[in-house]
Amino acid sequence: MATHATLLALLTGVAVSLTAAEPKKAPLDLSKLPPAASGPVDFAKDIQPLFAAKCYSCHGAEKQKGGLRLDIKIAALEGGDNGKVFVPGKSAESKLVHAIAGIGEIGIMPPKEKPLTSAEIGKVRAWIDAGAIWPDDGKLAVKKSDHWAYQPVKRPATPSTSPLITNHSPPHSIDAFVHSRLAREKLQPSAEASRPTLIRRLSLDLLGLPPKPEEVRAFVSDTSPNAYEKLVDRLLASPHFGERWARHWLDLARYADSDGYEKDRARPFAYTYRDWVIEAINSDLPFDQFSLQQLAGDLLPNATQAQKVATGFHRQTLTNTEGGTDQEEFRCKAVVDRVSTTATVWLGVTMGCAECHSHKYDPFTQREFYSLFAFFNNANEKAIPAPNAEEKVAYAQAKQAHAAEATKHKAALDAYATTEAPTKLAAWLQTASLAAVPWRSLTPDKLAAKHGTTLKADKEAVITASGALPAKETYTVEAKLPLPRLTGFRLEAIDDPDPKKAVGRAKDGNFVLTKFAVKLFVPGQFDGKELEIARVTADHSQNKFPVEAALKGEDSVGWAVAPQQQKSHVAVFELKSPLDVPEGARLVFTLDQQYKETYLLGQFRLAATDASGPLKPDFTPDTVAAALAAKPEQRTAKQSEALAKYFREQVDEPGRKLHAALDDHAKKAPAAPATTAAVLAEEPGVRKTFTHVRGNFLDKGTEVRAATPAVLHPLKPRAAQPDRLDLAQWLFAPENPLTARVSVNHVWKNLFGRGLVATVDDFGKQGEKPTHPELLDWLASEFPRLGWSRKALIKLIVTSATYKQSSVNRPELQERDPNNLLLARQSRLRLEAETVRDAYLAASGLLNPKIGGPSIRPPLPADIAALGYANSVKWTESKGDEKNRRGLYIFFQRTVPYPMLMTFDAPDSNTTCARRERSNTPLQALTLLNDPVFFECAQQLGARMAEVPTADAAERIRHGFERALARPPSAEELSRLLKLYEAQLKLAQANADGAAKIAGAAKPAPETGEKATLVALGRVMLNLDEFFTRD
């Protein structure tokens, strides 16, 4: 057998492997360091020129690789991403010296140029050893960048070249910018799109829903000069506008309805945040306030429920509850995500890489990343009650109604107590004897617990368990029997008066009594005799844990009381036959509790009786027994009252009923709405913030304070310690060059399919340049002027001729500008995933337009839902027309995302998504052709066509076509559809059973052939590219 020492020797590999994940640090060979130079060294003469020649190109004003800057004293002393690079007096330990000597882990510096000579290195060493005297240059490490996006927004003058096409006077500013650019390219803009196209485009862009045929007709025939503007205003005022634009925002917020990792638990109230977004957008909460509340609503003075719910924006991060997970690791990951997401959404900069090292291309150091991290580091995750207005009103009403009803019950009881009860009580007291209340508490004189629990009895004979909490336990209670005859026992499981505790000691307050046994010891007999229990009853047993189980002694079951752990309970055990007991007999009770872990009794009492059965599991308080035992004339007022109460509540039938009615009613008290919201709540000063070396949360670098990146405008905190609210206000400072640009660009992208800066999430050096920089700046200056009104900005854009252009491609444009960067036409855009669904449901008339509330689960094949971890994903189908609600309400289960959404490029909601893909795949075709949801839409469209009062197939086809596409078919299209009609009709008539199925009819009938044909036609119309494209 190996000793510990040999075991250790044997396992030398173990220690290596445990640290294998960390980078190997080669031991420094300090003997290779050139010695420090002798003689005085002057910074300005000897050192600064060296730094300038060898270091500044990477560690100077332009670049700060590794976060290090050597051209300014204050920055150089601070060091780089991994801390200080030199400490005065200690040149042999200096990372700077190691680097220039090429002995450290980063290798030799400068990496590509001629290395420093030994003499030069010696000078640097001598300078450090002499105290690194660096005459104060008085310079702060001010960063500058000449990258366009970091320059202030300057409102450009609107170009004077007259727009090429306009219906405005004076010309629309957007058109002035776009057309002057087109003029330079010698390109013509496109003509205005047709009215049907315009209303369909606007409805889809503003509401995410296609227009109804009657709306199309009304708009087409509206001859007023402001017909278009009226339409825009109507759509902006529609509550569906909030749904459409909320979905855009939810992409950025990485909104989902579940935790993400492993069990991927549902977040049933995630929708409270989603509904906040819809409401905020519908009420046109100005974008600065909209943002501020989401980033720091909890920090606003007297924050309202809604302002707190808004902070749910940053509660959409993923959660891992797998066993053994280091929660600090995932908390840090969530904070990192909050920083990156904030930077992407409001600044259009990619900060993610700065988690591990300073940004390679943009002027953000790792320290600056963690300075932003500090803003979020003390924001704790909390849930607050968040009933919506309806729920609040409903609860108040229910409470009121309940209270009124309770008053009635009380009145009836009071009336009974004062009128009929006294007479009956008097009669009862005449006959009442000890036999009426037969229980005698057993005062234990020995208590024991097998596995260390402390048991103590008080003078009421109540036994309390405390101290150690073993997984399993056996209590033994020994007591004298105070009766000469014995018929049964009573066990009271007593609810602890401490409201935090319950009857049992398990986490959920429950207990499981797996075996109840009693032995009788008679004086003079050596062995005790196990008493045979014939019958056991309890006032309450948990489902599948009946009190009878306590006689069996199986570990997997016993008597338990959930969900009533917060109430006392009683079980009575009746002996097979009455037993006469000689004086001095003793009872030993064994209470076994072997179920799982810690399901132990907390407080209990034992009693015995000699009454004849059947015994009832009720409580007869000892106070009552005492009062009854006392002579009537000696009873105290308290005792008389106790007897009266006991009689009314326990003995007298009508009284018991009245009490039971009152109790039952109390149980029916309306529950407060369970709706909660996940929010951020600041706990200042709880955590300090350090950089994480290479992004590893366990490897703490230098401490940092909350601060904003130096390349941007200064932060103006309200107090010494800046907080999230300061950060949010900093984002909307007038001198911020990014937020307004980035925000108008998001809106522009949603209306043109592409941002003026195509990389909407990256305005940095790696991103694309704006196609129309002046227009971008003009809009960025206009947005605050419009009071950050989203609706006003959208109205401004959609009323431009640029937006209203036809999207028809032109050969010269296809050649010169295939991506439509110059905006000589509108773009055709495949609808987003949710909008595809919404368009189907709307065109077929199936759409349930209800807004807000819990997320829905449309039908999903069982095997798809079962792919989550160990059946932990419960996909309970929504019933009735709930399943026909808009796509944004579909429950987003991160590990089992609804397949249709993913097939159409909905974001996976794991990180912020500023730009969706628009793919074009055969799986999309299969979904639209065959998914039961979409086929049902086709059936409905077919049914609408079948309803048209006509015998003319062409008329029916025109009706369906217009419903689907908001325009009549061309002659060619109509003739192709008629051809299909005839061919399908032939097939349908030849296959009556199939036709009935297609038509959704119970059985074949003469008209099912045509109905099925119309369904098939509806299916074709709804599968046309045009149907799920915004033209």
Partner 1 sequence: MNFRPDLSPSEIAHLTRRDFLASTGMGTLALASLLAEKGYAAPPTDPLAVRAAHVPPRAKNCILIYFEGAPSHIDLFDPKPKLNEMNGQKLPDDMLQKVRFAFIKKEGVRLMGSPRKFTPHGQCGMELSDLLPHIGSIADDLCLVRSMTTTQFNHHPGQLMMNCGSPLFGRPTLGSWLTYGLGNESRDLPAYVVLHAGRGSSAGASAWSSGFLPSTYAGVLFRNQGDPVLNLGNPPGFTPEMQHLGLDAIGDLNRLRHKHVADPEIASRIGAYELAGRMQAATPELMDLSKESQATLDMYGVGRNSRDNPGGRGGGPETYSTFARNCVLARRMVERGVRFVTLLHASWDHHSNINQELPFCAGMADQPIAALVRDLKQRGMLDDTMVIWASEFGRTPLGENRGGSANVTGRDHHPFGFSMWLAGGGIKGGQVIGETDEIGWGVVRDPVSVHDLHATVLNQFGFEHEKLTYRFQGLDFKLTGFEGAKVVGKMLA
Site for partner 1 in 937-996 (CB under 8 A): 938, 970, 972-973, 976-977, 979-980, 983-984, 987-988, 991, 993-996
| The two structure tokens encoding residue 942 | 């077919």
Closest separation in Å from C-beta 905 to partner 1: 5
Q: Nearer Cβ to partner 1, position 57 or 696?
A: 696
Q: Nearer Cβ to partner 1, position 330 or 489?
A: 330
The verdict on 217 binding partner 1 (CB under 8 A) reads: no
Q: Which residue carries 């003026």 as its tokens? A: 756
The verdict on 866 binding partner 1 (CB under 8 A) reads: yes
Q: Cα(934)–Cα(846) distance, rounded to whole angstroms?
A: 10
Strand 586-593 to 473-480 pairing: antiparallel
The verdict on 851 binding partner 1 (CB under 8 A) reads: no
Closest separation in Å from C-beta 260 to partner 1: 6
Q: Nearer Cβ to partner 1, position 722 or 764?
A: 764
Q: How far is CA 301 from CA 312, 474, 967, in A?
A: 18, 56, 53
Q: Which residue carries 């995932």 as its tokens? A: 330
Residues 331-390 that bind partner 1 (CB under 8 A): 333, 340, 344, 349-350, 352-353, 356, 362
Q: Cα(167)–Cα(163) distance, rounded to whole angstroms?
A: 10
Interface with partner 1 (CB under 8 A), residue total: 126
The verdict on 492 binding partner 1 (CB under 8 A) reads: no
Residues 701-760 that bind partner 1 (CB under 8 A): 758-759
Residues 526-545 that bind partner 1 (CB under 8 A): none
| The two structure tokens encoding residue 395 | 């609860």
Q: Cα(148)–Cα(757) distance, rounded to whole angstroms?
A: 12
- Choose one: 267-275, 616-624, 863-871, 875-883; the region binding partner 1 (CB under 8 A): 863-871
> For residue 670, with 0-12 CB atoms within 10 Å meaning exposed, 13-18 middle and 19 or more buried, which class applies?
middle
Nearest CA to 241 out of 290, 189, 279, 192 is that of 279
Q: Which residues contact 721 (CB under 8 A, 6 or more apart)?
A: 684, 685, 706
Nearest CA to 912 out of 767, 780, 755, 762 is that of 762
Q: Which of 38, 169, 871, 876 binds partner 1 (CB under 8 A)?
A: 871
The answer to whether 858 and 933 are in contact (CB under 8 A) is yes
Residues 679-698 that bind partner 1 (CB under 8 A): 694
| The two structure tokens encoding residue 479 | 């007591």
Closest separation in Å from C-beta 352 to partner 1: 6
Q: How far is CA 362 from CA 72, 348, 656, 704, 706, in A?
A: 20, 12, 79, 20, 20
Closest separation in Å from C-beta 934 to partner 1: 9
The answer to whether 475 and 601 are in contact (CB under 8 A) is yes
The verdict on 925 binding partner 1 (CB under 8 A) reads: yes
Q: Which of 113, 229, 326, 663 binds partner 1 (CB under 8 A)?
A: 326
The verdict on 44 binding partner 1 (CB under 8 A) reads: no
Q: Which residue carries 């297609």 as its tokens? A: 998
- Choose one: 147-155, 269-277, 797-805, 907-915; the region binding partner 1 (CB under 8 A): 907-915
Residues 770-829 that bind partner 1 (CB under 8 A): 807-811, 814, 818-819, 828
The verdict on 830 binding partner 1 (CB under 8 A) reads: yes
φ, ψ for residue 715, nearest 5 deg: -80, 140
Closest separation in Å from C-beta 694 to partner 1: 8
| The two structure tokens encoding residue 213 | 């045929």
Closest separation in Å from C-beta 196 to partner 1: 14
Q: Nearer Cβ to partner 1, position 270 or 455?
A: 270
Residues 1001-1020 that bind partner 1 (CB under 8 A): 1012, 1016, 1019-1020
Q: Nearer Cβ to partner 1, position 86 or 934?
A: 934
Closest separation in Å from C-beta 831 to partner 1: 12
Q: Which of 434, 618, 869, 968 binds partner 1 (CB under 8 A)?
A: 869
The verdict on 191 binding partner 1 (CB under 8 A) reads: no
Closest separation in Å from C-beta 909 to partner 1: 9
Give the number of other Cβ atoms within 10 Å of residue 360's Cβ. Answer: 12
Q: Nearer Cβ to partner 1, position 122 or 858?
A: 858
> For residue 569, with 0-12 CB atoms within 10 Å meaning exposed, 13-18 middle and 19 or more buried, which class applies?
buried
Q: Nearer Cβ to partner 1, position 298 or 936?
A: 936
Residues 462-491 that bind partner 1 (CB under 8 A): 471
Indicate the SS3 state at residue 701: strand
Residues 579-598 that bind partner 1 (CB under 8 A): 596-597
Q: Cα(272)–Cα(293) distance, rounded to whole angstroms?
A: 14
Q: Cα(1011)–Cα(996) distance, rounded to whole angstroms?
A: 8
Closest separation in Å from C-beta 23 to partner 1: 8
Q: How far is CA 73 from CA 43, 366, 802, in A?
A: 11, 19, 53
Closest separation in Å from C-beta 1005 to partner 1: 14
Closest separation in Å from C-beta 826 to partner 1: 11
Q: Nearer Cβ to partner 1, position 2 or 404?
A: 2
Q: Nearer Cβ to partner 1, position 470 or 528?
A: 470
Read off the amino acid at residue 361: Y
Residues 623-682 that bind partner 1 (CB under 8 A): none
Closest separation in Å from C-beta 997 to partner 1: 3
Q: Nearer Cβ to partner 1, position 18 or 389?
A: 18
Give the ranges where 134-191 is alpha helix by DSSP (H): 173-184
DSSP 8-state assignment for residue 559? B
Q: Which residues contact 514 (CB under 8 A, 6 or more apart)?
A: 549, 550, 552, 553, 554, 555, 557, 558, 592, 593, 594, 595
Read off the amino acid at residue 810: R
Q: Nearer Cβ to partner 1, position 386 or 995?
A: 995
Q: Which of 921, 947, 950, 968 binds partner 1 (CB under 8 A)?
A: 921
The verdict on 935 binding partner 1 (CB under 8 A) reads: yes
| The two structure tokens encoding residue 630 | 């006392």
Q: Nearer Cβ to partner 1, position 176 or 1016?
A: 1016
> For residue 698, with 0-12 CB atoms within 10 Å meaning exposed, 13-18 middle and 19 or more buried, which class applies?
exposed
| The two structure tokens encoding residue 5 | 């020492």
Q: Which of 905, 941, 945, 957 binds partner 1 (CB under 8 A)?
A: 905
Q: Which of 236, 924, 944, 956 binds partner 1 (CB under 8 A)?
A: 924
Residues 405-444 that bind partner 1 (CB under 8 A): none
Residues in the chain: 1031
φ, ψ for residue 909, nearest 5 deg: 60, 30
Closest separation in Å from C-beta 509 to partner 1: 19
Q: Which of 627, 780, 896, 945 binds partner 1 (CB under 8 A)?
A: 896
Phi-psi region of 695 (alpha: psi -120 to 50; beta: other; left: phi over 0): left
Give the number of other Cβ atoms within 10 Å of residue 87's Cβ. Answer: 14
The answer to whether 513 and 569 are in contact (CB under 8 A) is no
Q: Nearer Cβ to partner 1, position 74 or 356?
A: 356
Nearest CA to 597 out of 648, 555, 537 is that of 555
Closest separation in Å from C-beta 877 to partner 1: 16
